[in-house]
Amino acid sequence: QSALTQPASVSGSPGQSITISCTGTSRDVGGYNYVSWYQQHPGQAPKLIIYDVNNRPSGISNRFSGSKSGNTASLTISGLQADDEADYYCSSDTGATTRLFGTGTKVTVL
């Protein structure tokens, strides 16, 4: 597998909640709790927003939350704001001394 599968785009209105899925296999997402999520604004480096499935680094808003069920991890953004408009990537350890990123999801705030 070359990349984890994410929807190409997700959109929502300000104040709404949206969820981005990240689908892998039992060898990566389903096998370990080492799923992380990154936010990338245009022209900027990615920024860690969720690690170990559902933990937020210091300084990250509690509007961002993560979960996992089977081989699919999810990122939920609640109370959608204009600044949340960005690309989002998931990542997972594969258990084979490699790491995979997701295909990326563009979030649009309507």
Partner 1 sequence: QVQLQESGPGLVKPSETLSLGCTVSGGSVNNADYFWGWIRQTPGKGLEWIGSVDYSGSAHYSRSLKSRVIISIDKSKNQFYLKVNSMTAADTAVYYCARDRGSSSGRVFFYYMDIWGAGTTVTVSS
Of 48 and 70, CB closest to partner 1: 48
Q: Which two tokens stand for residue 109?
A: 């705030």
Query: Closest separation between CB of residue 104 and partner 1, Å?
Result: 4
CB of 13 to partner 1, least distance (A): 26
> Exactly one of 20, 29, 36, 77 binds partner 1 (CB under 8 A); which one?
36
Residue type at 105? T
Tell me the Cα Rg of the chain. Answer: 13
Near partner 1 by CB under 8 A: residue from 7, 21, 34, 72: 34
Burial code of 9-45, b = ≥16 C-beta within 10 A, e = fewer?
ebebeeeeebebbbbbeebbbbeeebbbbbbeeeeee
Q: Tell me: does residue 24 bind partner 1 (CB under 8 A).
A: no
Position among 47, 56, 60, 63 found at the interface with partner 1 (CB under 8 A):
47
